[in-house]
Amino acid sequence: MHDIQRARGIVDVVLAAAEREGAERIDSIDLSVGALTFLSPDQLGFWVREMLKGTIGEGAQVVIETLPARLRCAECGFEGEAAIEDDPIYHFTTLTPGCPECGAAQVEIIGGRECVVESLRATRRTD
């Protein structure tokens, strides 16, 4: 359900931008999706393509880049990627707690929650 709701928002943004720019057809959509959104790139891409059917976006290529989870440690100053464990048996993903360098619990999540339409390529109407 989470993937469907996010896909609906993406499609709304893409179609509004295409309309505003006078597009005749949407050729491709590039998305950046953070690992901590817990969105499945395959499912998200599927739902975006499904929701574009019957619109100027039907048949558009949907490219999804997964962005890593990133942390900043208040203790040692580490800034970098965080380990994420995915258990396919339970289809459950968790962020490994604490700093990967010093083990401190005081970490700030600084990346990985994004879901961004990075670019949209379209063919414009020639009136």
Tell me the per-residue pLDDT of 54-96, one tens digit each, with 9 for 90 and over.
999 999 999 999 999 899 999 999 999 987 766 555 445 556 6
Pair 63, 120 in one domain: yes
CA 92 – CA 90 distance, rounded (Å): 5
Tell me the per-residue pLDDT of 103-123, one tens digit each, with 9 for 90 and over.
898 889 899 999 999 999 999
> What is the reported pTM?
0.83
Phi-psi region of 95 (alpha: psi -120 to 50; beta: other; left: phi over 0): beta
Tell me the per-residue pLDDT of 93-103, one tens digit each, with 9 for 90 and over.
556 678 889 98
Give the per-residue pLDDT at 90. Answer: 46
* Residue 26, domain extent: 1-68+112-127
Domain total of the chain: 2
Pair 120, 93 in one domain: no
Instruction: Output the six-digit token pair for 88.
Output: 């396919």
Pair 84, 49 in one domain: no
The rounded mean pLDDT for the chain is 89
